[in-house]
Amino acid sequence: MHATTLPSGIRAGMRGPHPPMTDQTGQTRQPRPLRWRAAATAALVAAALTATVTPSVAAPAQTPPVSVPAAAAADVDYETWQRDCRAVMDAALPYLEDRIADTAPGEKQAIVLDIDNTSLETDYGFSYPQPANRPVLEVAQYAQEHGVALFFVTARPGIIEAPTEWNLAHAGYESSGLYVRGFLDLFKDVAEYKTEQRAEIESKGYTIIANIGNSATDLSGGHAEKTFKLPDYDGQLS
């Protein structure tokens, strides 16, 4: 995720058209035109303006992130992205199984997740609500079923907090806290902002056993025992 105040749908349109995408049923999905994505984003913001928005309330040394090699630009279709995401999550699950089994008495464990193209299929979803990124959802559900709290730290602006929170729940996530950027946060470096939110989560007594994102700004700054980096293909995905 990159430092920007624009919603991800508009960002995706500004980057130009995506290649054709094949979904999990084997059908090829063509990218929607920019005007469609802009309209969808406008609808999302309009929903936020009419919703009751509640204010967001709601580490050890960091290890190198687990990631997969970046694919060539021409190969970034939906099937490639899902395969690469699953490779990272296949490495995350055994670690989480062992770490959860090793929970210390009284320890409150947490996982921090980015949203766009991490928890949700932002650049491939083309809809609201955006669907869950299945490899990430499956790992998150395992964790939450074993008592691990899920926190979402995003660079999305606070104006779309309410629809984002609803979208996460609709997709199957049980959020213990959603952190969005307030007005003053929009002027901060995104990596710095996200690091501050993880420190705040730790101040509530949680041990962040994993931090999952698709950008260096999601993962740098510490305050997590282990990081897992999903592909962004040199910034092609937000």
Which pLDDT tens digit goes with each residue over 203-224?
999 999 999 999 999 999 999 9
So what's the pLDDT on residue 64?
58
Q: In the chain, pLDDT over 70 holds for what percent of residues?
A: 68
Nearest C-alpha neighbor of 1 from the set 174, 110, 120: 120
Q: Is residue 110 over pLDDT 80?
A: yes
Average pLDDT for 227-236: 95
Specify the pLDDT at position 107: 98
Res. 95 pLDDT band, cuts 50 70 90: very high
Per-position DSSP letters for the chain, written without gaps between them: --S-SS-HHHHHHHT-PPPPEE-TTS-EEPPPPHHHHHHHHHHHHHHHHHS-PPPP----PPPPPB--PPPPGGG-SHHHHHHHHHHHHHHHHHHHHHHHHTPPTT-EEEEEE-TBTTTB-HHHH-SSSPPB-HHHHHHHHHHHHTT-EEEEEEEEEGGGHHHHHHHHHHHT--EEEEEEE-TGGGGS-HHHHHHHHHHHHHHTTEEEEEEEESSHHHHTT--SS-EEEPP-TTTT--
pLDDT of 238: 84
pTM above 0.75, yes or no: no
Question: Which residue segments constitute the domains of the chain, with CATH numbers given?
Answer: 8-229 (3.40.50.1000)
Mean pLDDT along residues 114-132? 93
Position 7 pLDDT exceeds 80 = no
- 83 pLDDT exceeds 90? yes
User: How much is the mean pLDDT over the chain?
Assistant: 80
**Which pLDDT does position 126 carry in this prediction?**
78
The confidence score (pLDDT) of residue 76 equals 86
Query: In this predicted model, which residue has the larger pLDDT, 23 or 207?
Result: 207
Is the per-residue pLDDT at 132 higher than 80? yes
Q: Phi, psi at residue 52, to the nearest 5°?
A: -85, 110
